[in-house]
Each structure stands twice: as structure tokens, then as C-alpha cells.
């Protein structure tokens, strides 16, 4: 009955993934390549989580 009020974890992770990519882009533009690579690695971990959730949803 109240299932419609539950938030979709995939949407939340997608927003976080997009935010990390944007943060990484700004780091790269500022010349901070070390920070860029660390943030990109975090974004890739989030992408893997999204893929796992999508597989389990099917």
C-alpha cells in the first residue's frame, strides 16, 4: 500500500554518480589530476552499484 512512497535507490545513485562526474570535471579543469582520478574512481564504484541493482531488479 505504501510502496509508492519508497524512493528508488537507482535514482539516488544516478544523481550521486552525475554529481561525482561533474566534480571530477571541475577538478580536471583546475589541473588537479590526482583529485580527478580519485573522484572518477568513486564514480566508477557507484556505476557498478547501479548496474548490480539493475540486474537484481530484473
* pLDDT tens-digit readout, 2-58: 667 778 889 999 999 999 999 999 999 999 999 999 999 999 999 999 999 999 987
- Residue 19's pLDDT is 97
Report d(CA 6, CA 45) in Å as an integer: 24
Is 1 a residue whose pLDDT tops 60?
Answer: no
Task: Record the cell numbers describing residue 48, joined without a space.
Answer: 557498478
Amino acid at each position: 500500500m505504501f510502496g509508492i512512497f519508497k524512493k528508488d535507490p537507482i535514482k539516488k545513485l544516478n544523481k550521486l554518480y552525475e554529481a561525482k562526474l561533474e566534480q571530477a570535471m571541475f577538478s580536471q579543469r583546475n589541473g588537479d589530476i590526482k583529485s580527478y582520478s580519485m573522484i572518477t574512481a568513486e564514480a566508477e564504484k557507484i556505476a557498478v552499484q547501479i548496474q548490480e541493482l539493475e540486474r537484481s531488479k530484473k
